[in-house]
Structure 1
Amino acid sequence: MSTKTEQAPVAPRRPHSFTRHGITVQDDYAWLKDENWQEVLHDPSQLDADIRSYLEAENAYAEGVLGHTATLQKTLVAEMRGRIKEDDSSVPSPDGAYAYFRKFREGGQHELFCRMPRNGGAETIGLDGDELAKGHDYFKFGGSRHSYDHKLVAWSADTKGSEYFAIRIRDWESATDHKDIVEETDGGVVWALNCKSFFYVKLDDNHRPMQVWRHRLGTPQDQDVLVYEEHDTGWFTHVHESTSGRFCVIAGGDHETSEQRLIDLANPEAPPRLIAARQNGVQYSIADRGEELFILTNADDAIDFKIVTAPLASPERSNWRDLIPHRAGVYVLDHDLYAGHLVRLERANALPSIVIRDLTSGEEHAIAFDEAAYSLDAMGSYEFDTTTLRFSYSSMTTPSEVYDYDMVTRERSLRKRQEIPSGHNPADYVTTRIMAKAPDDAEVPISLLHRRDFVQDGKAPLLLYGYGSYGHAIPASFNANRLSLVDRGFVYAIAHIRGGTDKGWGWYLDGKREKKTNSFDDFAACARALIATNYTGEKRIVGHGGSAGGMLMGAVANRAGELFAGIVAEVPFVDVLNTMLDDTLPLTPPEWPEWGNPIESEQDFRTILSYSPYDKVAAKPYPAILAMAGLTDPRVTYWEPAKWIARLRATMTSGGPVLLRTNMGAGHGGASGRFNRLDEVAIVYAFALWAVGLTDRNA
């Protein structure tokens, strides 16, 4: 193990450049990308020795700089762990004669998958995550799905952090695995109705989910049958059960276009049946009820999506008929279908709602909520013929609550409230929203959490979180970990910037490709609005984002770094240009609709080059920066933050320090295990406290 050091590593410059579209780009840290990177995903020990030495030196430096916060980190971990109900369990979900649930044991890191008789009785543990994780430095469940006859459970796990999941089959009664092992999958399983075979998606050599296979129990994987293969490398393919449980849905697409096929699970050897042929820019997803399909789509310029119906026998686009017409500004996120009801989740102006439609009468109603900012999630059900909808609710002050809602009587029953063992009084905190005005006058919502005794004098430290890509909205939900910052005087803020769908699909479109810089301008505008309204002050803000949100952090550090005391970029997508130019990387072709294709388009090349954080590092002051990476991350490869930090340290004129911490045994999601993950959260929070000068007072 490397020893701590206060000496910043210096990555050697190894001259390297390339020319594309007549533009030459210098990339002197390209050597940090191991030519053997695909093998490293499978076996981290294959990493080039020089690269490993450099990453370990960076880890030692980061540990040395933050070493004085070691006691604080332990305190933070203890606080956060104290808010976790260690023997927690989910609300049992009924299916036939059983009710299925997940739970943790006291002190356990990993989930246990369990069931009990529906009408009461002793529970049975089918999968014990703590036992299965023994002998592995990393362990993460992928998916689990019990068979229709309730005798078996298909489960998957990743033991490297590289998101290659191996599927196994376990017998519920004996709690032993069959000999079947299906490797290099995305983890998902759909059973055939006869429970003798299942469908899964295999990852190709570039870690892309392109093929759907059928595995027959008791046979080796090399005898599996290829059911469907996607030939467009820009498309990813996944499988799931249809709402009725009658079909396996093969869902394919990129960020702009989608296409779905059905396999009758009663006839698993039948070929997949296409619903509607792909049409560039048109997305759709299906739910089925009897001989009718309910389709969520943006067809016919329905920018915020609508719901149409079509006969199962002839589902092509010419037969689609509007059921829930398009309403501009009301984004239909998702829909779920039951025997007698259609449920849709909508969002308008960054606030979600659940709307229920009686399919016999056509009558609709929404479930009402009171707080200024909150999060909702319809949780689905194993059962189709039910009038019970299960959903969860939380806000930044209110811990998660799980309700069963009778869609006929409209009665709501609380099934579970998140327990905070160390205590939590929502009345001690305030959640509110303000709006920031972007340079083009767009109104950007900001969700805020602070203590009720907070003084709005412009002096408080503030953590500003953002993402703003792929249409992913950041919910104003409860997170017990945040209280460790808020109780130390921080304001916690979420910037609902463009690039997400917080204010509808148009909000997303206004933050992608040639409009990507709107995301960065929005985030900086949020920081300035929080300063102007005295929630915080200049250089009292710590920016925080991960993955594409880490790219946001890198861009903001380049463009508005003077506003921030610190920046935390977790698994940051900062080497945008080089990644989008490498079509062998797992995510590159599917990402071109999001960022542009700089291989084919000079305009896309110039646009990405204009903001790519690694390429835009300048000789100027920078705030303190902490970048966190995972060696086996197939999504944002380790070399992106490594190159970024190396260039920052060599180029910036003052400020910092800039730190890189690489988890040498994990991938995109960081450490596995619910308690091990807290160690990484504590590092982020300790860095944030240190960046604003609060570590001494809060150790």
Structure 2
Amino acid sequence: MTIPDAASTPPPTETAPAAPPVAKKVPVDRTHHGDTFTDNYEWLREKENPDVVELLNAEQAYTDAVTADQEQLRTDIFNEIKNRTQETDLSVPSRKDGWWYYSRMVEGSAYAIQCRVKADGDGSDVGDWTPPVVEPGVDVPGEQILLDGNAEAEGQPFFSLGGAAVTRDGNLYAYGADFAGDELFTVRIKDLRTGELLPDTIEKAFYGLTFSPDGTTLYYMVADDSWRPYQVKTHVLGTPVEQDEVLYQEDDVAMWTGFGLTADRRHLAISIGCSEFSETRLLNFDSPERGPQVLIPRSEQILYDAEPFLLEGVEKVLLTHDRDAANSMISLVDGVEFTKPLAAQEWATVIAHDDAVRINGATVTATHMVVSLRKDTIERIQVTALEGLGTVKQAAGVEPVFGEELYTASMGGTEFESPVIRLVYTSDFTPPRVYDFVLPTAVSPAGSGGGELLLRKETPVLGGYRSEDYVAQREWAVAGDGTKVPLSVLRRADLARDGSNAGVVYGYGSYEVSMDPGFGVPRLSLLDRGVVFVIAHVRGGGEMGRHWYEDGKKLNKRNTFSDFVAATDWLAQSGWVDPARIGAMGGSAGGLLMGAVANLAPEKYAAIVAQVPFVDALTTILDPELPLSALEWEEWGNPITDPEVYSYMKSYTPYENVRAVAYPKIAAVTSFNDTRVLYVEPAKWVQVLRATSTGSEPIVLKIEMDGGHGGASGRYEGWKTRAWDYAFLADAIGATTLR
């Protein structure tokens, strides 16, 4: 590594910022399918190498120098976020096993405090599910603190919770804490009767914790060396961790494993799968000696979720599946059917396949089926009575009715025996609202569109915020192949359409993840500076159904990038903005998108912020020993075995396609301990960009040395990170002044 000599380098000024650090070149040839690529910076993967750490620190120093004049803007945006946020706040209590559970935040504290208070009533009446009035800053009689995140984080460089579980008798509380940002957790168990921690300590657990019904056994997840969750283990309380047994181990490196309780808590469901097919194994707590039993084997190549439950005393399984149903459908199956070959099984249709409706998943309460679905890009909830389900007597589904065109309604968790379900509602300019939706019955019949919606809370937004000051509109860009790409266009209502404003285009476009309408306090700081903010719902996401995803993955991946450029062209030609004042932003797989569009159309952007960017995707996926690489084959294809996939990926991966053009201002934002997208990818990328670009705009690497995939921990650090990103963009597109 070489770093410019301080004696020969002028001090940073507005016209002469510090020169960027230049990494030494150590050529390494990578050959696949007869093609050789020479990588000069692969040595930066050596995380323990002092030269690597020195370079990264030098990168941050350079970034600090280049962006020093943005410090006031960052401070302003941070304060705007802070001043709009009610810092002393709490979640809406959720009832479980006779307790109300909630979390609260205290002004000046970075982390949540997990709490509970005893519930009244036996839960048989709707009134029993009315949450207690818990006010910010007001002591709650009988409140019990389960975990104070601020106390846990004291003296630690990082802190994050990775799951928690309470025994059904309410006596024991298990939680996982990450103190490094690598998403591996130390699990401790607290006796809530005494406040003491049990001696049982599990190190390096993955996400996911749950107790057996009798509270004597804790189930937890373990990841392998490539950070792939592959083992479900059991810990018997009071025994040495070394004696913990493996309940299930998944050896296929391309499959992801997880677990959870079924809705009625009679089974532990182990889910194994990729993006194209899956397998569910059920452990029946009434006969655990049988071990986890397979429902539909993965060899049938069906992507499905299973929810077992008892219907009039008969074991049933509610299946959400893609068998002859690209957008998925829902079937009801008797448990005994799974003992037969698939072709001989009888499945009753509950919700038929519909090309215009994507079924996301389904669960049950004691009385209703609850379905998450997507129609016209919007995520919504539908409920149907269990009585008559899958027969000609099946009742019509009921959806809660909301007043906005663009919104998101999702499940907020519910108890199996509850007469209400918890919903979370939000839109781009409606702060999150928590509702309880009363399940329609003969006693409380459905009205126009459904049962009663009981508003439990709307997240307060301070600082004089008024939703009517802003507008969210659906627009459509047209891609080069004629495909119409949906856009969410957000702006201030008083903005003049005079072609002089600044714009930002945001996108993701992978893994069938949808960029659904959702309120964001930080984004207001850009809108209030006259920015037109466009969310591009590009192919590869899930907004338009399964085909939308499949048209943006594997050998169709370039559609994701060209869709984003089309969205940018729409904005440039919309009359809202000055085409010279457009920035772009995306993170993780959206960071790959940023790298790709930077290569495709650098002239269209004044600045690009690539957050934890997956910009060296081919190198990563070619090495199955690296974190998550093998799991990515179902998303991008397998370039190890397929020369066509290799050639196609090499044609678009950002790191290998940097070319001699004038790149815009670019900020690559990363974390040293990120286990999903390793820091080495953006570190290599910025070196090649600087060495190749024919332009003079700065290209910087912002690195959090104590953070993970989500950056530094704690809400205040999170706000600072977002303020940094937005200030970098706002400065580049000339949107620094509040309107």
TM range (shorter): over 0.9
C-alpha separation in 1, matches of 2:731 and 2:594:
18
CA shift for structure 1 position 698:
5.7
Q: Aligned to 1:163, which of 174, 180, 183?
A: 183
Out of 461, 468, 481, the residue aligned to residue 509 of structure 2 is 468
1:405 alignment partner, one of 416, 426, 437? 437
Q: Distance in 2 between matches of 1:480 and 1:421?
A: 10
Give the equivalent residue in structure 1 for 2:35: 23
Q: Determine if the alignment matches structure 1 residue 304 to structure 2 residue 345.
A: no
- Counterpart in 2 of 1:207? 227
Further displaced range: 606-615 or 442-451: 442-451
Q: Which residue of 1 aligns with 2:479?
A: 438
Q: Name the CA distance, whole Å, in 1 between partners of 2:285 and 2:111.
A: 32
Equivalent residue for 1:198? 218
Change (3 A) 1:315 1:90: farther
Amino acid at match of 2:412: M
Matches of residues 497-516 of structure 1 in structure 2 within 5 Å?
497-516=538-557
Tell whether the 8 Å contact from 1:582 to 1:588 is kept in structure 2 after alignment.
yes
Q: In structure 1, what is the Cα distance between the partners aligned to 2:217 and 2:610?
A: 43
Question: How far does residue 655 in structure 1 lie from its aligned partner after superposition?
Answer: 4.2
Task: State the distance in 2 between where 1:112 and 1:601 align.
Answer: 50
Aligned 8 A contact 1:530 1:536 in 2: yes
Q: Aligned equivalents of 1:445 and 1:579: distance in 2?
A: 31
- Give, in whole Å, the separation in 1 of the partners of 2:577 and 2:348: 51
Match of 2:126 in 1: none
Deviation at residue 530 of structure 1 after TM alignment: 1.3
> Structure 1: which amino acid aligns with 2:187?
I
- For residues 192-240 of structure 1, give each alpha carbon's deviation from its aligned partner in whole angstroms, at most 9, with x where no partner exists: 0110002111112222211111100111211101111111011111111
SS at match of 1:432: strand
Equivalent residue for 2:408?
Answer: 375
Could you tell me how far 1:423 is from its partner in structure 2? 2.8
Answer yes or no: is the 8 Å Cα contact 1:350–1:496 preserved in 2. Answer: no
2:362 maps to what in 1?
A: 335
Instruction: Kindly state the Cα deviation for residue 542 of structure 1 after the two structures are TM-superposed.
Output: 1.1
Worse-matched range after superposition: 20-29 or 311-320 = 311-320
- Partner in structure 1 of residue 125 of structure 2: none
Q: How does 1:193-342 map to 2 (within 5 A)?
A: 193-279=213-299, 281-290=301-310, 291-300=315-324, 302-315=325-338, 317=342, 318-342=345-369
Q: 1:169 to 1:313 in 2, by over 3 A?
A: farther
Out of 1, 25, 34, the residue aligned to residue 13 of structure 1 is: 25
Deviation string for 1:656-684 (max 9, x for gaps)?
21110111111111010011111110110
Deviations 1:167-188 (A, max 9, x none): 1111123222111111211131
Amino acid at match of 1:389: I
TM-score (norm 1): 0.96
Q: Tell me which amino acid in the other structure corresponds to 1:186.
A: F
Structure 1: give runs of 5+ residues left out of the alignment: 38-46
TM-score (norm 2): 0.90
Identity %: 37
Partners of 2:267 and 2:159 in 1: CA distance: 31
> What is the letter of the counterpart of residue 130 of structure 1?
N
Q: Distance in 1 between matches of 2:288 and 2:604?
A: 58
> How far is the alpha carbon of 1:268 from its aligned partner?
4.2
Q: For 2:569 and 2:183, how far apart are their aligned partners in 1?
A: 39
Once the two structures are TM-superposed, the CA of residue 639 in structure 1 deviates from its matched residue by 0.4
Q: CA deviation at 1:314?
A: 3.5
Q: Select between 352-361 and 586-595 the one with higher mean Cα deviation.
A: 352-361
Query: In 1, Cα distance between the equivalents of 2:201 and 2:285?
Result: 22
CA RMSD of aligned residues (A): 1.6
Separation in structure 2 between the aligned mates of residue 135 and residue 386 of structure 1, nearest angstrom: 41
Q: Compared with structure 1, are the counterparts of its residues 534 and 176 closer, same or farther at alpha carbon in structure 2 (3 Å cutoff)?
A: farther
Mapped to 2, the partners of 1:694 and 1:327 lie a distance apart of 44
Query: Shift in Å at residue 31 of structure 1?
Result: 1.2
Contact map agreement 1:191 1:265 (CA 8 A) in 2: no
CA distance in structure 2 between the aligned counterparts of 1:74 and 1:229, rounded to whole angstroms:
49
Read off the aligned partner of 2:153 and give its amino acid letter.
A
Q: Structure 2: state its 5+ residue gaps.
A: 1-5, 121-131, 133-140, 388-393, 445-450
Equivalent of residue 605 in structure 2, options 564, 571, 588: 564
Q: Supply the AA of the counterpart residue of 1:396.
A: D
Cα distance, 1:68 vs structure 2? 0.8
The one-letter code of the counterpart of 1:371 is: E
**Which string of whole-angstrom CA distances, capped at 9 and with x for unpartnered residues, describes residues 129-166 of structure 1?**
00011121100011111111110111101110011112
In the alignment, what sits opposite 2:467? 426
Q: Aligned partners of 1:252, 1:586: CA distance in 2, in Å?
A: 18
Task: Report Cα offsets for 1:619-674 as digits up to 9, x if no partner.
Answer: 00111100011111111000000000000000011142111011111111101001
How far the C-alpha of 1:346 sits from its partner, in A, is 1.2
1:113, CA displacement in angstroms?
1.1
In structure 1, C-alpha distance between the alignment counterparts of 2:554 and 2:542, rounded to whole Å: 15
Q: Distance in 1 between matches of 2:711 and 2:195?
A: 29
For these two proteins, the number of residue pairs brought into alignment is 684
* 1:366 corresponding residue in structure 2: 399
Distance in 1, matches of 2:97 and 2:646, equals 55
- Measured against aligned partners, the alpha-carbon deviations of 1:251-297 in whole angstroms (never above 9, x if no partner) come to 11112111111112344454111111003642111112211110111
Aligned runs of 1:17-56 on 2, under 5 Å?
17-34=29-46, 37=47, 47-56=48-57
The CA distance in 1 between the partners of 2:730 and 2:244, in whole Å, is 53
| Stretch deviating more after TM superposition (118-127 or 395-404) | 118-127
Q: Tell me if structure 1 keeps the 8 A contact 2:382–2:399.
A: yes
Q: Aligned-pair distance for 1:415?
A: 0.2
Structure 1 CA distance, aligned partners of 2:306 and 2:42? 44
Amino acid at match of 1:392: V
Tell me the distance in 2 between the aligned counterparts of 1:481 and 1:104.
Answer: 18
Deviation at 1:693, TM superposition (A): 2.5
Of 155, 165, 177, which aligns to 1:145? 165
Q: 1:352 and 2:379 equivalent? A: yes
- Structure 2 counterpart of 1:531, one-letter code: A
Distance 1:128 1:267, change over 3 A: farther
Answer whether contact 1:72 1:698 (CA < 8 A) is retained. Answer: no
Offset of residue 15 of structure 1: 1.9
